[in-house]
Structure 1
Amino acid sequence: MPQRAGVPKAGQRRRLALLAVPGPVGRGRHFARQALEDWGWADADTLTDDILLIVSELLANACIHGGGPRELVLTASPEGLRVEVLDHEATLPSPRPPHLTTAPGGHGLHIVARLSERWGADLHPGGKSVWAELGAARLRSREPAGPGVTGSPAGRGSAPAV
């Protein structure tokens, strides 16, 4: 299958420092949209919206549960796209049961799982990273997440399954 235009064979990584930055979710979305445009993946379509929603949810979770995001990392490669948010909290995320009616919120990781092919969390010195991946085939086909696409945590020190 031909490689998607705009993605170098060796891949490319973009980093945005967010430590003590006001409005990290909005800044992260803007940064991600620019990266997607540079890589030829930002059209006015549902897939772009899915990616930006993943960025938003991971950053919002870091704001609420991780003491604020330290960094947003986007990695594009022939294998796909990885969205990663680093924070200072050393506790792995634990998704709430779906449809918990006694408390608002708690849907962020379920949304990430639904829109990505894989997601997980890894512990690092000084905190953790929570990440989501979309495969190259989906990026090339421009298909949004559908009923058959579900995320599953994977990786070293991963969070529990949703």
Structure 2
Amino acid sequence: MAAHPADPADPAYSAAPAGPVPAGPERRCLPLAAAPGAVARSREFTRGALRTWGWLAAPDEGTRAAAQDVLLMTSELVTNACQHAAGPYALELTRYGPLLRVAVRDADDRPPVLRPPAEPARPGGHGLRVVDRLAAAWGSEPAVGGGKTVWLEIVRPPAEP
């Protein structure tokens, strides 16, 4: 997996999107500050965007599976913000052609840490591992005014013949 290191001090760290970014991004933003049910609201918001952008009703199984991965990873990022950063401020989805970037902003300045693998049967501690495994890239960058944005990128698979 081509994940970006989550530590800005790491020389390999990059806040830039992986690969070329096509012109004309489409953005959707969901404010989440002090909102109850942030994880469920984020999943529904993301589901709506994926439906509009044709990922959920795609004729090919690969794209539909990628859409389910996006929903899972979005839940993991928002859950991490709830558990480790006193809650998320906002969820932003940006589509650059086939590239989808999911970003969650929170108030904590500390970058997320990819922990060593936990015992598989033990609950908790798997969120970033899931993101690391499923995303094309992910990382964290300081947010203007404090806090951070944790993001991931996934590319819509090419349509199956």
Matches within 5 A, 1:75-154: 75-78=94-97, 80-100=99-119, 104-124=123-143, 125-135=145-155, 139-141=156-158
Partners of 2:135 and 2:148 lie apart in 1 by: 19
Instruction: Write the letter of the residue equivalent to 1:141.
Output: P
Q: Which runs of 4+ in 1 moved over 2 A?
A: 140-143
The answer to whether residue 33 in structure 2 is matched with residue 13 in structure 1 is no
Partners of 2:114 and 2:45 lie apart in 1 by: 26
Using the aligned pairs only, state the percent identity: 46
Deviation at 1:142, TM superposition (A): 6.0
Contact 2:89-2:107 within 8 A present in 1 as well: yes
SS at match of 1:141: coil
Q: What's the TM-score once normalised by structure 2's chain length?
A: 0.76
Partners of 1:97 and 1:140 lie apart in 2 by: 29
Q: Runs of 5+ in structure 1 lacking a partner?
A: 1-7, 144-162
C-alpha RMSD of the superposition = 2.2
Q: What's the TM-score once normalised by structure 1's chain length?
A: 0.75
Contact 1:47-1:142 within 8 A present in 2 as well: no
SS at match of 2:86: coil
Q: Runs of 5+ in structure 2 lacking a partner?
A: 1-21, 59-63
Deviation at 1:78, TM superposition (A): 1.9
Partners of 2:159 and 2:25 lie apart in 1 by: 19
Number of aligned residues = 133
